A = this chain, B = another copy of it.
Amino acid sequence: MPADAKPPHNATLAAFGERVRARRHELGWSQEVAADHIGIHWTHLGQVERGQRSSRIENVLKIAAGLDTTPGRLLDGLPSE
């Protein structure tokens, strides 16, 4: 099964990934460009955007900073499990 076809791990990560992707699109960046700004590999970013990988606090901060936004804008109001 290709990665795109795999389901998100849970509703929280699905919604977080959608926000990350939406912010990346606002910036007009490819996954490769965004991952470079964030400082992670683009395959890692792809997994985050698809809700297939959770992130620890340290990486949430890197993702927010790399996408020129805040952790709060990416996390506040997300559905809990």
Report A's interface with B, CB cutoff 8 A: 10, 12-13, 16, 54-58, 60-62, 65, 70-73, 75-76, 78, 80-81
Contact of A56 among B54, B71, B72, B73 (CB under 8 A): B54
* Chain B, Cβ-Cβ closest to A74: B71
Chain B residues closer than 8 Å to A75, beta-carbon distance: 57, 60-61, 70-72, 75
Q: How far is the CA of A78 from the CA of B58 in the complex (A)?
A: 10
Q: Are B58 and A57 in contact (CB under 8 A)?
A: no
Q: A13-B57, A57-B75, A70-B76 are in contact. List 20 more A-B contacts (CB 8 A).
A: A10-B58, A12-B57, A12-B58, A16-B57, A54-B57, A55-B56, A55-B57, A56-B56, A57-B60, A60-B60, A61-B75, A61-B80, A65-B80, A70-B75, A71-B71, A71-B72, A71-B75, A71-B78, A72-B72, A72-B73
